[in-house]
Amino acid sequence: MTCDRLVCANCAGPVSEGRCSVCRAHRARLHRESPLASLSPATLLGLLLALIAVALFAERMATA
């Protein structure tokens, strides 16, 4: 999960901007907990497709 679309309940601003201490703390916690948070959805999709391609290749090589 990224903090791009989250709205702070304390200041009603985007969490990604870090307007208040609550925003900054939540943003820091999200980035600490999720190593994939900095990756864009397109990058994650590309990694998933690459993983599927490798799995299909491995399966084909195992049956050949």
pLDDT of residue 29: 82
Whole-angstrom distance, CA of residue 60 vs CA of residue 64: 6
* Residue among 19, 33, 34 nearest 9 (CA): 19
pLDDT of residue 54: 97
Q: Does residue 1 carry a pLDDT above 60?
A: no
- Domain coordinates of the chain in residue numbers? 1-33, 39-64
Q: Which two tokens stand for residue 38?
A: 């900095």
Does the pTM surpass 0.85? The reply is: no
pLDDT of residue 13: 87
Q: Does residue 33 carry a pLDDT above 60?
A: yes
Q: Among 1-5, 31-35, 47-51, which range has the highest average pLDDT?
A: 47-51
CA dihedral sign, ordered 12, 17, 20, 25:
positive
Phi-psi region of 18 (alpha: psi -120 to 50; beta: other; left: phi over 0): left
Whole-angstrom distance, CA of residue 8 vs CA of residue 41: 22
